[in-house]
Amino acid sequence: MNFEVVRANIVNISADAIVLPANEYLKEGSGASTAIFNAAGRSKLTKACAQIGHCDIGSAVPTPAFDLNAKYIIHASVPKWKDGEHNEYGLLSSAYLTSLKLADIMVCKSIAFPLLASGNNGFDRLLAFQIAERSINEFVGENIKDIILVVYDENTECFVRSQGYNVMENDEIWIFK
């Protein structure tokens, strides 16, 4: 399995599955959520999410990708940081692992994640990255060949580089299908 970190806008990634950081009611949020809703087609994606209705925190559900260059959007319901005493670590890891398992069951060869919960959900970037890295590295699947962690800004890119990772950069669409 290939694990890459890319600095890009997640909606420009071509992968079988794109992960959307979701709330448990599958309503459009901010940041990566807004970008994905915009690119996929807000009305179609909102309708698909309303039909599902709910996703427990730490779980994930799929919808079609509509206008994205992907087959599926996987809505990973992520926790908000409180104080580290409310299973935030386990729930965030579960959101990654559930998304990966779901993509693998749906025979996806590639999946792209933003750095889940590191924006408005309040997780410290270091902690969010460590949970992502650990969860991705512990996943064992049959179909997924490429896992892409997409970082959006220069500060996060610098942070990931400081952790020893090479970060691919390009303004072009990255293709991992």
pLDDT digits 0-9 by tens, 110-137: 999 999 999 889 899 999 999 999 999 9
Query: CA nearest 40: which of 9, 69, 68, 77?
Result: 68
In the chain, the percentage of residues whose pLDDT exceeds 70 is 95
Single pTM value for the model: 0.94
Report phi then psi at 65, rounded to 5.
-90, -10
For 73-121, the pLDDT digits (tens) are 999 999 999 999 999 999 999 999 999 999 999 999 999 999 999 988 9
CATH number of 2-169: 3.40.220.10
